[in-house]
Amino acid sequence: MVVLIVDGYNIIGAWPELQTLRDKDLGSARDLLIEKMAEYQAYSGDQVIVVFDAHYVRGIEKKVKNHKIEVVYTRENETADERIEKLSKERKNVRNQVYVATSDYTEQRTIFAQGALRKSARELHIEMKNIEKEIEKEVESQNQVNYKPKIPIKKEVLDVFEKWRRGEK
C-alpha cells in the first residue's frame, strides 16, 4: 500500500491557487487542500494523511477523518515536521511505501534517512492537475455514451418515439 503524508501548510504555500486563497482565508485554503487530497485518494487508492502545524495554538492536537483521508493537527509545542517524521516511521514497513509531500529540504533529508520517499509540492501539484484532467475525460466519456436499445429500431423511429416522449408533434 502507498501512504502519502502531506505537509499541509507547505503545500498551501507552494500551490498558486492555494496561496491566493490563503491570503484571504486560511481556513478555506485548508479545506480546498483537503478536498483536493480527497480527490487524489479516491483516484489513486493511496492512503492520504494531511498534517497541519498547530504548534502556535495551545492544546489543539486532534485527528479528523475527512473524505476518507486523515487530517492531523499537531499538538502544542509540536511541529508538523516532527509529526510527519513520527508518522513516516510508524507507517513504513515491508507492505507500505511512504511518500512525504513537502518542499522543505531539511524535512526531505530526514524522511529519506527513514526510508520514505518524497514528492515535492511541485510534483504533487502536477500529479493533481493530471488526475483532474483524467477525471474530466472520464466524466466526458461517460456523458457521451449513447443509449442502445435492446430491440434494434431504426433511428427515424427512435426519433419519433423521442418526440412523443417529450410531448412534441
How sure is the predictor about 106, in pLDDT bands with cuts at 50, 70 and 90?
confident
Q: Does residue 101 surpass a pLDDT of 90?
A: yes
- Residue 54 DSSP symbol: -
Instruction: Read off the amino acid at residue 30.
Output: R
Q: Does residue 143 surpass a pLDDT of 80?
A: no
Alpha-carbon distance of 7 to 102, in angstroms, equals 6
How sure is the predictor about 7, in pLDDT bands with cuts at 50, 70 and 90?
very high
Nearest to 49 by CA among 95, 16, 96: 96
Q: Which CATH architecture has domain 2-143?
A: 3-Layer(aba) Sandwich (3.40)
Tens digit of each residue's pLDDT (9 = 90 or more) over 50-85: 999 875 555 566 677 767 899 998 888 888 889 999
Return the pLDDT at 154: 85
- On the 0-12 / 13-18 / 19+ scale of CB atoms within 10 A, 33 is buried
Nearest to 99 by CA among 112, 113, 86: 112
- Residue 150 DSSP symbol: S
